[in-house]
């Protein structure tokens, strides 16, 4: 019989791979640059171009925040490894 008062485990946090997020940032940065370089005739209107540009900027900001979280978690792991007792 399983006791009903066991604590529930915290939700699992899944961090994506550092290289994957960095690669997505590079790709979106290239898209951002391309939006500026493409002829205005490609877009339905200047507003359409601005909306595409802003969507890319927002996605880049989200990815940069995610990359920062990954870097912080990696730093915490490194720090905990340095502070853990060494087994001889």
pLDDT tens-digit map of 4-40 = 665 655 555 556 788 999 999 999 999 999 998 999 8
More confident residue, 80 or 7: 80
Q: List the helix and strand counts (H, then E) for the chain.
A: 2, 0
Domain ranges across the chain? 18-75
Residue closest to 28 by CA, chosen among 6, 53, 3: 53
How many angstroms separate the Cα of 42 from the Cα of each of 31, 35, 49, 76? Answer: 14, 10, 9, 46
Please give the pLDDT value at position 88.
57
Which residues lie below 8 Å from residue 66, measured CB to CB, with a gap of 6+? 16, 21
pTM confidence score: 0.70
Evaluate whether 15 touches 75 at the Cβ level (below 8 Å). Answer: no
């Amino acid at each position: 019989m399983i006791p009903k008062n066991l604590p529930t485990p915290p939700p699992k946090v899944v961090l994506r791979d550092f290289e994957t997020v960095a690669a997505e940032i590079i790709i979106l940065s290239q898209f951002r640059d391309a939006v500026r370089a493409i002829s205005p005739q490609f877009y339905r209107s200047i507003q359409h171009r601005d909306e595409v540009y802003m969507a890319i900027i927002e996605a880049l900001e989200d990815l940069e925040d995610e990359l920062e979280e990954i870097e912080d978690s990696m730093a915490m792991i490194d720090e905990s490894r340095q502070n853990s007792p060494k087994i001889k």
